[in-house]
């Protein structure tokens, strides 16, 4: 969806920018596949229906996998009633097949690597520092400021291949999917200190963490972290808790050797 928003900016002078985007996509492909289709952002929710409607009218074939039935998309989302026509559009134009076997195959990972350290303490912080030096090839940590889309974000260390942030610096405050996309494009490894259990009221922070994990996962970025609790206990109560189970599942998979052996991807690959 980040690419869709970027295209909309380029075509904002068009009478119908979404239709223009759909026409561009139609020229590029006839079958469009979405892996793990979900909606958690209001900006995406508000344009998705019209985008899908235009793509379908252009004759594009849509194929998607999702952890949610169409009726369960965008759960507890802001202004969800406005998203209901999109759900109706999906249900009336796509054939919905339930292939749930009751098992999350991400949990069938092979030998997890030691890259996720619990709890948050000095010993595990030192382990993370040693791992950063080993994997990035630097001998001294170099804290500084990263400027991403005009916003300053303090980092604990940085190299050509890796960058290290505090969890609160990266997921608390004004952060967007575009910020995380920049990180995934420019770094093979992201280190994160101080993950913590989020309260039910911290759903915005939980959502930002989900955005971060989704982008890192899609680009096969390696995530190394310290945390006060295991991934399944980071956000267990609140409006976003049910959807966050998918994020926890991805974080578990990202610790597996199978995931770690995959090469870093970029938009050009």
pLDDT of residue 98: 84
End of a domain among 38, 64, 93?
A: 93
137 and 240 share one domain:
yes
pLDDT of residue 101: 59
The answer to whether residues 73 and 153 belong to one domain is no
Predicted local confidence at residue 100, as pLDDT: 65
Give domain status of residue 70, yes or no: yes
Q: Is residue 127 part of a domain?
A: yes
Q: Give the model confidence (pLDDT) of 19-39 as tens digits.
A: 898 899 999 999 999 887 888
Domain range for 199? 105-260
DSSP code per residue over the chain: -HHHHHHHHHTTTSSSHHHHHHHHHHHH-SEEEESS-----HHHHHHHHHHHHHHHHTT-EEEE--SS-GGGSSTT-TTGGGGHHHHHHHHHHS-------S--GGGS-SSB-S-EE-S-SHHHHHHHHHHHHHHHT-SS---EEEEETTEEEEESEE-SSEEEEEHHHHHSSS--HHHHHHHHHH-SEEEEEEE-PPPTT-HHHHHHHHHHHHHHHHTT-EEEEEESS-GGGSS-SSTTHHHHHHHHHHHHHTTBHHHHTSPP--TT-
User: Does residue 208 sit within a domain?
Assistant: yes
HSE-CB of 236 using CA atoms within 13 angstroms: 8
Task: Name the domain boundary from 93, 121, 156.
Answer: 93
Which tokens in the block code for residue 231? Answer: 């991934």
Give domain status of residue 266, yes or no.
Answer: no
Bridge partners, 223 (sequence order): 190
Total of domains in the chain:
2
Q: Please tell me the predicted confidence (pLDDT) of residue 109.
A: 44
Low-confidence ranges of the chain (pLDDT < 70): 100-112, 268-269
Find the angle CA(84)-CA(5)-CA(149) to the nearest 5 degrees: 130
pLDDT of residue 37: 85
Residue 218 and residue 109 share a domain: yes
119 upstream amide cis, omega within 30 of 0 = yes
Stated pTM of the model: 0.74
State residue 115 phi and psi, 5-degree precision: -130, 0
pLDDT for 171 equals: 97
Q: How far is CA 168 from CA 25, 40, 154, 208, in A?
A: 37, 21, 10, 11
Residue 148, C-beta contacts closer than 8 angstroms, at least 6 positions apart: 179, 182, 183
pLDDT for 206: 95
Asked whether the beta carbons of 203 and 191 are under 8 A apart, the reply is no
Closest CA to 251 of 201, 216, 200: 216
Domain boundary among 61, 93, 125: 93
Tokens of 102: 């009751």
pLDDT at res. 110: 44
For position 243, what pLDDT does the model report? 86
| pLDDT, tens digit (0-9, with 9 covering 90-100), for 111-156 | 567 999 999 999 999 999 999 999 998 999 999 999 999 999 999 9
User: For helices 17-28 and 2-10, what crossing angle results, to 10°?
Assistant: 120
Distance (Å, whole) CA 206 – CA 176: 13
């Amino acid at each position: 969806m980040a690419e869709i928003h970027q295209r909309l900016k380029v075509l904002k002078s068009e009478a119908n920018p979404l239709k223009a985007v759909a026409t561009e996509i139609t020229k590029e492909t006839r079958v469009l596949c979405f892996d793990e289709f979900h909606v958690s952002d209001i900006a995406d929710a508000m344009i998705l229906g019209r985008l899908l409607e235009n793509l379908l009218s252009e004759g594009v074939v849509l194929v998607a996998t999702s952890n949610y039935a169409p009726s369960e998309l965008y759960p507890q989302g802001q202004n969800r009633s406005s998203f209901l026509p999109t759900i109706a559009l999906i249900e009336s134009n796509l054939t919905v097949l339930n292939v749930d076997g009751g098992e999350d195959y991400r949990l069938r990972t092979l030998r997890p690597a030691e890259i996720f350290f619990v709890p948050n303490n000095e010993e595990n912080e030192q382990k993370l520092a040693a791992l950063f030096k080993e994997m990035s090839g630097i001998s001294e940590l170099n804290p500084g400021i990263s400027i991403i889309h005009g916003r300053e974000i303090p980092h604990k260390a940085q190299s050509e291949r890796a960058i290290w942030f505090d969890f609160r610096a990266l997921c608390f405050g004004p952060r967007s999917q575009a910020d995380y996309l920049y990180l995934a494009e420019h770094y093979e490894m992201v280190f994160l200190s101080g993950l913590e259990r989020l309260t039910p009221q911290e759903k915005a922070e939980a959502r930002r963490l989900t955005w971060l994990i989704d982008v890192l996962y899609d680009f096969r970025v390696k995530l190394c972290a310290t945390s006060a609790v295991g991934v399944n206990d980071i956000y267990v109560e609140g409006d976003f808790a049910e959807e966050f189970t998918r994020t926890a599942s991805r974080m578990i998979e990202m610790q597996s050797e199978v995931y770690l052996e995959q090469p870093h991807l970029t938009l050009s690959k």
